[in-house]
Amino acid sequence: MRLDAAEIKLIRLPLKFSFETSFGVQTERHIIVLTLYSGGLEGYGEGVMEHLPLYREETIAGAWELLEQVFLPRVIGKEIANPEALVAELAPFRGNKMAKAVAEMAFWDLYAKSLGQPLWKLLGGVREQVAVGVSLGIQKSLEATVAAVEKHLSQGYRRIKLKIKPGWDYDVLKAVREAFPQATLTADANSAYQLSDVGTFRKIDALGLDYIEQPLGFDDLLDHAKLQREVSTALCLDESITSPEDTRKALEIGAGRVINLKPARVGGLLSTRRIHDVARSFGAPLWMGGMLEAGIGRAHNIHAATLEGFTKPGDTSSASRYWQEDIIEEGLEARDGFMPVPAGAGIGVTPKKDYLAKLSLREAYVSEK
Ligand code: OSB
Ligand code: MG
């Protein structure tokens, strides 16, 4: 299909809660929203990068520059047959997976719409709803944490993930475990620890967590392998996984046993499917991560989570947890711990154009020269 034009917007969307992790506190998102135009069709993509490179290296400034000046001009005006062809166009450029993913995922939406198919079917998904849990930020107190866990368990969420950081780890996990002996609990450190903190993880090991997410360096597989040999709880990799190749290496050396897969972190949905296949070949379960996405990115993630290997509950919880008003018409709401996959062609959601215009801080339009 021929790509006629592209529009990028940077929007600001306030969160309903302040989300604290080991790397900072978020009270709002700044989101790059891409629309690709082809014939009468529109495909949508959403960026997960932020102003500061606190999670991984990419930034809004860098992604904006690449999308507006390099990636989009390279594909607009061209005949792009399928997602493989789009990925090939961007392949000469190293890294910048999040920026590439914005374009790749918008293209998938467009491509699925051109075929009149829902995205999940085109990807080869096997289910029409996906199991979900919640990711709870660092709270003000142990009591507040236990109350937040209670609230989300009672809403039916199938797993509770608690953010941890040095000084806020074993005690909070222990308090929650004691209050909820049967709950599926996990912890996410967002790379806040070093191998020398092994003592903390030996203590946490006794709490029966389903996994411990990304305890060590964002780009460090070797020390994760060393830590995994010291604890019986599975380690789950998030930040460290950006490609099928590093997934193979991570699983080969035993750097973890579970994969948090975020399409936006790995360059998009083709890469997601390849990583999924690598993880399955090692027998490693996957789950769908999240980056506090608004409706477009959340919809993409829900579609991708229908692939067979996503056997653990993901982070794509109800949009109404995050936003007073989402950027799409449809409500993405979980019921009893399951998120239905949006129906209709492509990602199956409709951006609110007037609302996006109101939220917009910056815009660019790329058309054929
Ligand atoms: O590490 O999974 C993470 C949010 C922003 C950046 C990194 C992470 C997260 C979350 C939130 O855990 C998941 C969500 O609710 O979207
Ligand atoms: Mg994580």
Tens-place pLDDT, residues 241-269: 999 999 999 999 999 999 999 999 999 99
119 Cβ contact partners less than 8 Å away, ≥ 6 residues apart: 108, 109, 112, 300, 303, 346, 347, 348
Cβ–ligand 1 distance for 191 under 6 Å, the answer no
* Nearest atom (ligand 1) to Cα of 214: 1
Cβ–ligand 1 distance for 38 under 6 Å, the answer no
Of the candidates 70, 98, 104, the residue with the CA atom closest to the CA atom of residue 86 = 104
262 alpha carbon – ligand 1 mean position (Å): 10
Cβ–ligand 1 distance for 168 under 6 Å, the answer no
Global pTM exceeds 0.75: yes
Q: What is the pLDDT of residue 77?
A: 97
292 alpha carbon – ligand 1 mean position (Å): 6
Cβ–ligand 1 distance for 188 under 6 Å, the answer yes
Q: What is the pLDDT of residue 33?
A: 98
CA dist list (Å): 350 to 38, 205, 224, 295: 16, 44, 41, 9
25 alpha carbon – ligand 1 mean position (Å): 12
Task: Report how far residue 305's alpha carbon sits from residue 342's, in angstroms, rounded to the nearest whole number.
Answer: 12
Per-position pLDDT tens, the chain of length 369: 999 999 999 999 999 999 999 999 999 999 999 999 999 999 999 999 999 999 999 999 999 999 999 999 999 999 999 999 999 999 999 999 999 999 999 999 999 999 999 999 999 999 999 999 999 999 999 999 999 999 999 999 999 999 999 999 999 999 999 999 999 999 999 999 999 999 999 999 999 999 999 999 999 999 999 999 999 999 999 999 999 999 999 999 999 999 999 999 999 999 999 999 999 999 999 999 999 999 999 999 999 999 999 999 999 999 999 999 999 999 999 999 999 999 999 999 999 999 999 999 999 999 997
Q: What is the pLDDT of residue 290?
A: 98
Helix (H, G, I), strand (E, B) or coil at 169: coil
Which of 292, 320, 322 is the best mutation target for the ligand 1 pocket, counting ligand atoms within 8 Å of the beta carbon and taking the most? 292
Helix (H, G, I), strand (E, B) or coil at 27: strand
Please report, as a single letter, which amino acid is at residue 2: R
CA of 322, nearest ligand number: 1
Active site residues: 163, 262
* Nearest atom (ligand 1) to Cα of 260: 2
Cβ–ligand 1 distance for 292 under 6 Å, the answer yes
238 alpha carbon – ligand 2 mean position (Å): 5
CA of 56, nearest ligand number: 1
Cβ–ligand 1 distance for 215 under 6 Å, the answer no
Residue 28's beta-bridge partner residues? 14
CA of 162, nearest ligand number: 1
Spacing of C-alpha 2 from chain mean position: 29
CA dist list (Å): 138 to 142, 206, 234, 247: 10, 21, 22, 28
Q: What is the pLDDT of residue 369?
A: 77
